[in-house]
Amino acid sequence: MSELKRINKTRKIIRKIINEKGRKEIYDLTGLSGGFEISDSDMELLETYVGPAIFSEQLNAVGISHFGGSPSIHKAVGFNRTSSAIFSTICALSKDIKTVVHFVPKLPSHPSIPRSCDIFDMNYFESDNLQEMLNKIDGETLTIITGATMDHKMINLDDLKEIIQYCKEKNSIVFVDDASGARLRLLYNQPPALKIGADLAVSSTDKLMNGPRAGLLSGKKELIDKIYSEGLKYGLEAQAPILCAMINALKNFKLDNLKDALKRAKNIDLSSLVNAGLKYEKTPTGFIITNLSDEEYINIALKMLENYGIITITAGGMPGASKTLRIDFCSKDAKRISDEYVINAIINSKNNNL
């Protein structure tokens, strides 16, 4: 099944459930369910030029704070996707840098990074081996570090600090892709990216928080200005409604919601999955099934959606996203269903796929 066919089929099933049963019968367990909080007073400012004038200043303040930065040296801006921010960063820096070195806690990387490098004819190297990675870094490279992978494998803090320090010594710009890691790493008392010396950091405001699907980019002012200028040229910047919703999500973010998901993931009994022939790994805020093919993952995910109303990244994710069947309890919907409901949905969908 092609990526587009999968996405279209997922959306068709969602429409059918909404039209026949209503939103209450949908359970988004992607960890990317997001939200769009806008007040009545915000509404009158959602205009092409007025909105960005007001909201860009507010986003700058809360964005810098989210990454542990300093207003004297850092700046924060909004893009319509994290991938857009990554694309704009590589576009802007490709004029002076021809090699990207990327450390991933567990391969592979998010496809937006190598694909952006291909577009701008940049050399690209990725690794989950620390020493192999360090050997590639010099003053001619852009160093990217993934804080947490698509399947929520988190970077070791000592490794993160070592890479950042080494980049400083080698005069390499260091960019932390903290799409979900900006929140996930907080759960384990890891400091925000800018606080420990990253030059740039990006996060998605719908990942493990109730914000819109958008990219928050923060870092050194001169770099942010250069990158944002490129984004504007290609229409990749976040518009007024998105900026406003990003601000409200960042202001209202509470780590307690993640802590609740962490506790549930730790305590859930998954022995029945093993009895059904499935292997799993627990993640900080849920679990993943690990022993199936991509085709099996997709078929099971679609059946889970059609018969149980459960949305997963496997079914609805963008092209190139991990196909591993992942359940994430960091969402409002997760609080409305039991562990047994989720487990039965997986097992029954697997059996119906045979």
- According to DSSP, the residues that pair with 176 across neighbouring strands are 145, 201
Residues 237 and 273 in one domain: no
| Same domain flag for 113 and 232 | yes
CA pair distance 120, 349, nearest whole angstrom: 42
Range of the domain at 343: 3-31+255-352
111 with 140, same domain?
yes
Over the stretch 14-67, which tens digit does the pLDDT of each residue have? 999 999 999 999 999 998 877 899 999 999 999 999 999 999 999 999 999 999
- Between strands 27-28 and 310-311, the pairing is parallel
| Residue 27 contacts residue 309 (beta carbons within 8 Å) | yes
**Among residues 207, 223, 252, which one ends one of the domains?**
252
pLDDT for the residue numbered 45: 95
Secondary structure element (H or E) that encloses residue 78, with its range: strand 74-79
CB-based contacts of 60, cutoff 8 Å, min separation 6: 71, 75, 76, 77
Asked if 70 and 185 sit in the same domain, the reply is yes
pLDDT for 321 equals 77
CATH of the domain at 117: 3.40.640.10
Ramachandran class of 216: left when φ > 0, alpha when ψ lies in -120 to 50, beta otherwise: beta
**Per-residue model confidence (pLDDT) at position 257:** 86
**Distance of alpha carbon 284 from alpha carbon 263, whole angstroms:** 9
Give the total residue count for the chain: 354
In this prediction the pTM is: 0.90
Q: Give the CATH number of the domain where residue 10 resides.
A: 3.90.1150.70
Q: How many domains does the chain have?
A: 2
- Percentage of residues in the chain having pLDDT higher than 70: 99
Question: Are residues 139 and 22 both part of a single domain?
Answer: no
Q: Could you say which of 193, 227, 252 is where a domain stops?
A: 252
Q: Which of 199, 227, 252 is the last residue of a domain?
A: 252
Judge whether 231 and 237 are in contact, CB under 8 Å. Answer: yes
Q: Are strands 286-289 and 280-283 parallel, antiparallel or unpaired?
A: antiparallel
Q: Which one is predicted more confidently, 330 or 157? A: 157
Q: Are residues 50 and 189 in the same domain?
A: yes
**DSSP result, 90-130:** HHHHTTT--EEEEE-SSS---THHHHHHHHTT-EEEEES-H
Q: Is 345 exposed, middle or buried (0-12, 13-18, 19+ CB in 10 A)?
A: buried
305 pLDDT exceeds 70?
A: yes
Q: Are 228 and 88 in contact (CB under 8 A)?
A: yes
pLDDT above 70: residue 304: yes
Average pLDDT value for residue range 251-274: 94
**The residue to which tokens 């609080």 are assigned:** 335
* Same-domain status, 20 and 46: no
How confident is the model over 314-343, as a mean pLDDT?
91
136 plus 87 within the same structural domain:
yes
Q: What is the pLDDT of residues 78-105, one digit of tens each?
A: 999 999 999 999 999 999 999 999 999 9
User: Looking at the structure, do residues 53 and 113 belong to the same domain, yes or no?
Assistant: yes
pLDDT tens-digit series, residues 227-258: 999 999 999 999 999 999 999 999 999 898 88
Distance CA 146, CA 163 (A): 11
Q: 3-state class of 150 per DSSP?
A: coil
Same domain? For 13 and 78 the reply is no
Greater confidence (107 vs 191) lies with 191
pLDDT in tens, 133-183: 999 999 999 999 999 987 788 999 999 999 999 999 999 999 999 999 999
Q: Are residues 55 and 169 in the same domain?
A: yes
Predicted pLDDT of residue 172: 98
If asked whether residues 238 and 310 sit together in one domain, one would say no
Cα angle: 324, vertex 326, 331; to 5 degrees: 150
Residue 354 has pLDDT above 70, yes or no: no
